[in-house]
Amino acid sequence: MARYEDCLRFVDGADYVLHCAALIPPRSDHNEKLAYECDYLASKNLVDAINASPTRERIKFVYIGTVAEYGNRNRKTMWGRVGDPMISSDYDCYSMNKIRAERYLFEHRPANFVSLRQTAIAHKYLFANNMSDGLMFHTSWNGPLEWVSDRDSGRLLTHLVAYDMEGRLKGFWNRIYNIGGGRSCRATGFESVSQGFALMGRSAKDFFSPEWNITRNFHGCYFLDGDELESILHFRRDSLADFWARMGKKHWCLKLAKIVPPALIKSLVFKPLLKDENAPMYWVNNGYEGHVKAFFGGREAFAKIPRRWAEFNLYCEGRDEKGEPFDNEASKDLAWAQKNHMALDHGYDESKPIGSLTIEDMRQAAAFRGGECLSESMKKGDLWTKLKWRCAEGHEFTMSPFTLLFGGYWCPLCEQPKPWATGKLAAHSPFFAQVYFADHDASETVDSYPLGGNGEKD
């Protein structure tokens, strides 16, 4: 797919192009070049090929985006929705390239497209893929994750095509949606890991030490607007518990692990993984200072993580980071999110119908992103004609109101994740600051993290 000529052949005569191809972590963490080719270049080639096709008006393009585009979320930002800022986690080649690709799609839009931002998939290879890589430790214990099962994700695409062919998807195209499994698929990082180990009659506490896992710089959130896609495509059947029950049947022999002392499994299976170059403890022990800073907030913050589970505050045990009472189950309810005003600010009056948005709304949105709208006028409600903008750094660029307001994008130079300088962008932009400074302190504005990764020391 990194070859344009091949993409031309793929789309020739197609009615639908379902672009699910991606190189995801952990493989994208180990092969930056392949992540670029698969996650960015392949997407660009498909968009270009469709736009060059004589039947381009007929082709319907489905881009599968990712929850990773929303960056790391914590207690303050645990609920996400379309229009939230696009922030790649530092050192994450996957989200970096997915963000670039999606921006390209919006700015070169084919006649009929949709971006479906896929959340974490609970799939049958989950165990096998993650048990052999340091990625296993990239989940923060209290981080919010809304899963969706592999079967439900597949059903979604089947319904999409079937319903569209029946003419039932009026108003569906040229928009962005989040794919999530809903209430029954929401879990914190600790709950997610422990539900897997429950197949062996164990929990994360039996095999992990608290400081083995990162405290920030991953991704995952609960979706405020995930039910919208469900109301259109009716794809949800599985809860997270259903998925684990299915895995239990498939890996029935895991039950036998109950008779093995957990300390033995810890030393034979998990401790060796700490030496994997994708493991946070490897970064700590081998001078990967950029990684230690990005994923823990630095060595001092790492040193403060309790080493014993009894002292570590877990949402699922009713305590927040400071040990204050926290109702974890309630925090997964949409009603709780609405009552606690968890929706991020998008910097313009969202109560207005789209058709009545004017240049004044664009000026407001630009100011909230730390810049200005240079265009003097726009056609009322026109989301597609590109306007001119200037960011806080003085870069001038053109971009459609759709990409800005609904995509969550801003200056293409400042928002390039590399060299991992989101802090610099957030320092001038309340829009990005609301996510970035929820888990970074005020001093983390200037220094970008050294590139590193992929076997090189920072």
* Segment interacting with Zn ion (CB under 5 A) among 3-11, 138-146, 332-340, 392-400: 392-400
Q: Judged by CB under 5 A, does residue 411 bind Zn ion?
A: yes
Nearer to Zn ion, 370 or 450 (CB): 370
Name the 3-class secondary structure at 166: coil
Of 135, 391, 404, 427, the one binding Zn ion by CB under 5 A? 391
CB of 413 to Zn ion, least distance (A): 4
Q: Which stretch binds Zn ion (CB under 5 A): 285-293, 386-394, 429-437, 441-449?
A: 386-394
- Residue 243's CB is within 10 A of a number of other CB atoms, namely 26
**Cβ 229 vs Cβ 155: under 8 Å:** no
Pick from 155, 395, 418, 428: which binds Zn ion (CB under 5 A)?
395
**Is 396 near Zn ion (CB under 5 A)?**
no
* C-beta closer to Zn ion: residue 391 or 421: 391
Task: Rule CB under 5 A: say whether 224 interacts with Zn ion.
Answer: no
How far is it, in rounded angstroms, from Cα 136 to Cα 280? 10
User: According to CB under 5 A, which one of 393, 396, 441, 456 is a site residue for Zn ion?
Assistant: 393
Choice between 355 and 394, CB closer to Zn ion: 394
Residue 441 binds to Zn ion (criterion: CB under 5 A):
no
Choices 93-101, 107-115, 319-327, 407-415; region in contact with Zn ion by CB under 5 A: 407-415
Asked if 414 touches Zn ion (CB under 5 A), the answer is yes
Q: By C-beta, is 124 or 395 nearer to Zn ion?
A: 395
Size of the site for Zn ion (CB under 5 A): 6
How many whole angstroms separate alpha carbon 434 and alpha carbon 437?
A: 6
Answer yes or no whether residue 413 interacts with Zn ion by CB under 5 A.
yes
Piece in contact with Zn ion (CB under 5 A), picked from 82-90, 196-204, 347-355, 394-402: 394-402
The CA distance from 40 to 43, in Å, is 5
| Rounded distance between C-alpha atoms, residue 220 and residue 193, angstroms | 14
By CB under 5 A, the residues from 353 to 382 that bind Zn ion are none
Collapsing DSSP to helix, strand or coil, 399 comes out as: strand
Q: Which is nearer to Zn ion, 314 or 421 (CB)?
A: 421
Q: Which stretch binds Zn ion (CB under 5 A): 195-203, 269-277, 345-353, 405-413?
A: 405-413
The answer to whether 86 contacts Zn ion (rule: CB under 5 A) is: no
- DSSP states of 10-55 as a string? HHTT-SEEEE-----TTHHHH-HHHHIIIIIIHHHHHHHHHHHSTT
Query: What is the closest distance, in whole angstroms, from the C-beta atom of residue 383 to Zn ion in the complex?
Result: 22
Cβ(60)–Cβ(16) below 8 Å: yes
The nearer residue to Zn ion, 28 or 88, going by C-beta atoms, is 88
Annotate each residue in 312-331 with x if it binds Zn ion (CB under 5 A) or - if it does not, as one string: --------------------
Q: Considering the complex, what minimum distance in angstroms separates the CB of residue 396 from Zn ion?
A: 9
Q: Which is nearer to Zn ion, 156 or 399 (CB)?
A: 399
Residue 190: closest CA among 333, 316, 326, 327: 316
CA–CA gap between residue 390 and residue 375 (Å, rounded): 10
DSSP code at position 88: P
The minimum distance between CB 411 and Zn ion, in angstroms, equals 3
Say if strands 144-146 and 186-188 run parallel, antiparallel, or are unpaired. antiparallel
CA distance 71 to 297: 16
CA angle 185, 219, 266 (to 5 degrees): 80
The secondary structure of 229-263 as a DSSP string is: HHHHH------HHHHHHHHHHHTGGGGGGGGS-HH
Binding site for Zn ion (CB under 5 A): 391, 393, 395, 411, 413-414
